[in-house]
Amino acid sequence: MVYVSIIFYSETKISTYLPKINYNSMLLMNEQMTQKPTKNSTMPPSKTAINKQVIYDVSSEHAHGILLRLADEDANISKRIQELALEYLTDVDPDGIAEDIFYDLNILDVDDVWKNSGSTRYGYVDPYELAFEMFEEALEPYIDDLRKCRKLSMDEKAKLHCIGILKGIDQFEREGTTEFKDWAVDAPHEKFMQVFKEWREENKNPKNLEEMDEFIKRNFPKWYGSILKE
C-alpha cells in the first residue's frame, strides 16, 4: 500500500501536519483541483486517456514534488490542498486503522529477517532485534498520524487513532499467521504499552483518559494489568 504525505503551505512557512493519504485518494484530490475535460473538448479521447494514465503512473515521490510545485505556484491550489488534507486528517476510523495495521504486520516476511540478520559485513545482527525493528517500522506511519492530531490539539481524533493502533496490534498478536510473528514475540506487548503511554502523557482531557481506561479494561484485559502498574 503506497501512501503520500502532503505538505501544508502558509504564506511564510511549510507545516508538515499531514495525514497518511492513500495514493488513489491523492489522485481524487487532483481531480477535485483541476477541471475535467468537457464533452466539447478539442483534446482527442486517446490523448486524454494517455494523460490520465501518466498521472496514475507517477511515483509517490514524484507526486509529492508535484504537489509542492502546485502549492508554491498558486495560492488557491495551496489552500485547497490544505483543506482536503485536513478532511483526511479529521476523518478517523479506528476499525479501519486496526485493519490496515493488522494487514501491514501480517505481511512482514520472516525471510527478510533471515536474509538480513546473523553475520554481515557490518557485524552481527540479532534476528530478534531486527524483527522488532521491522515491527516498529510498520507501525510508524500510524503513530505519526496520532502525533499530528496531537500537535493540532485534536484530542478526540488522537484518541481514536490510539484506539485503532491498539486494536490493530492486539489483533495481530491474537490472529497473526505470519511466521515472522515467532521472531517478534515481545513486540506486540511492548509497542502496545509504548503507544498507550505516549498518548496518555500528551492527553489533556481527563474524560478521554477515563474512556480509554475503560476501553482497554474491557477489550484487552490481559494487558490491562500492565497499564495499572505504570
The alpha carbon of 84 is separated from its chain's Cα centroid by a whole number of angstroms, namely: 17
Least trusted range by pLDDT, from 38-42, 80-84, 152-156: 38-42
Asked which of 60, 90, 120 is the last residue of a domain, the reply is 90
78 and 101 co-located in one domain? no
Asked which of 57, 90, 123 is the last residue of a domain, the reply is 90
| This prediction's pTM | 0.67
Phi, psi of 3 (to 5 degrees): -125, 150
C-alpha closest to that of 224 among 191, 198, 199, 189: 189
Determine the structural domain holding residue 203 and report its residue range. Answer: 94-229
Q: What are the tens digits of pLDDT across the range 87-129?
A: 665 678 999 999 999 999 999 999 999 999 998 888 999 999 9
- The yes-or-no verdict on residue 6 having pLDDT over 80 is no
Residue 3 pLDDT: 39
17 and 121 co-located in one domain? no
Cα–Cα distance list, 141 to 124, 131, 216 (Å): 28, 17, 22
C-alpha closest to that of 209 among 147, 142, 163, 141: 163
**What domain count does the chain have?**
2
